[in-house]
């Protein structure tokens, strides 16, 4: 599964990040002018967003989540493992005029297996094509390929915020979570924010039993172990209908709906997307 693979892969900076530049024709508005008018509300409502992505706003609460993280449009924000770009559609246009959006994707050439290299080569190409197709929205977005074996996301102290959504479970399964947290801490400025969203278990989950859900206590311990301080937690993305005991783990629920043959998908559609923790950490001031 693409999302699960991507979540385990993003760890270190490639030497030559790609920046998409504006290439308008005719009377099109220059990229900087267009981006300067993109408020967070306008980015969430953007006509460039994929219709299937926008249809999930009620479950993912993009505006409330980003406001909870305390982001501002003049920040340098690194999104780790953006997948197919659900948050990219919002973050890149919003940050485009005053700030910097960096999408950290896996360096396919350094993947651990031929299968993974093939997969990431295709996934990375699709991600870049998606950005290139809407230059007015994505001009200035940086795509940074990273090496999963060497957790460095950029120059030390260069980012205002690091964001990652629904990825911690994969790193925990693959014994990468601790080095991920250390890499996040290193790239952030003092006072910088780590914002994360993660499928939430009711109790700690052993590594070999992780099925998408982990506990808040596990995530907080990982972050604090790297030096972060927990600033706040939110129930923005909570879902009390989620019983967390599904046959194929969190992927049984929407949007995947990986439902065993013979079971009624409507049961899982009625639950909706997973119950999720939403946490804001800060790197202490020096």
What are the tokens at 112? 């651990």
Report the distance separating Cα 112 and Cα 128, nearest Å: 22
Q: What is the pLDDT of residue 139?
A: 87
Tell me the C-alpha to C-alpha distance, in Å, between residue 46 and each of 53, 108, 165, 232. Answer: 11, 31, 21, 29
Report the distance separating Cα 78 and Cα 80, nearest Å: 6
Q: Mean pLDDT across the stretch 121-150?
A: 91
Q: What is the mean pLDDT of the chain?
A: 88
| pLDDT one-digit tens code per residue, 166-185 | 999 999 998 989 999 999 99
Structural domains in the chain, CATH included, are: 2-241+276-282 (3.40.50.150)
Prediction pTM value: 0.86
Q: What is the pLDDT of residue 29?
A: 34
| pLDDT one-digit tens code per residue, 253-271 | 999 999 999 999 999 999 9
Contact 75, 51 (CB under 8 A): no
Report the distance separating Cα 168 and Cα 165, nearest Å: 8
Report, in angstroms and rounded to the nearest whole number, the Rg of the chain calculated over CA atoms.
Answer: 18
SS3 135: helix
Tell me the C-alpha to C-alpha distance, in Å, between residue 190 and each of 183, 186, 223, 264, 281. Answer: 14, 9, 15, 50, 12
Beta partners for residue 233, in sequence order: 279
Confidence tier at 14 by pLDDT (50, 70, 90)? very low
What are the tokens at 224? 């604090």
Beta partners for residue 230, in sequence order: 281
Residue with tokens 């999408």: 103
- Is pLDDT at 100 greater than 90 in this prediction? yes
């Amino acid at each position: 599964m693409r999302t699960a693979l991507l979540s385990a892969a993003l760890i270190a900076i490639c030497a030559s990040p790609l920046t998409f530049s504006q290439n308008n024709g005719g009377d099109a508005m220059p990229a900087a002018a267009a981006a300067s008018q993109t408020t967070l509300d306008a980015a969430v409502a953007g006509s460039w967003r994929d219709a299937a992505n926008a249809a999930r706003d009620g479950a993912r609460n993009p505006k409330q989540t980003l406001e909870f993280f305390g982001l501002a449009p003049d920040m340098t924000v690194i999104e780790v493992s953006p997948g197919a770009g659900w948050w990219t559609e919002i973050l890149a246009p919003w940050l485009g005029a005053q700030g910097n959006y960096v999408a950290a994707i896996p360096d396919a050439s350094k993947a651990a297996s031929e299968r993974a290299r093939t997969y990431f080569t295709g996934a990375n190409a699709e991600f870049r094509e998606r950005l290139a197709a809407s230059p007015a929205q994505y001009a200035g977005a940086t795509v940074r390929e990273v090496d999963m074996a060497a957790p460095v996301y950029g120059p030390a102290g260069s980012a205002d915020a690091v964001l990652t959504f629904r990825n911690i479970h994969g790193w925990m399964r693959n014994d990468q979570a601790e080095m991920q947290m250390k890499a996040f801490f290193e790239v952030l400025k003092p006072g910088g924010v780590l914002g994360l969203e993660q499928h939430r278990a009711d109790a700690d989950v052993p590594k070999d039993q992780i099925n998408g859900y982990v506990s808040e206590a596990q995530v907080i311990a990982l972050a604090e172990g790297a030096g972060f301080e927990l600033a706040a937690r939110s129930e923005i993305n909570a879902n009390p209908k989620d019983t967390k005991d599904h046959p194929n783990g969190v992927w049984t629920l929407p949007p995947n709906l990986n439902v065993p043959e013979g079971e009624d998908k409507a049961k899982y559609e009625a639950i909706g997307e997973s119950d999720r923790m939403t946490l804001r950490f800060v790197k202490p001031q020096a």
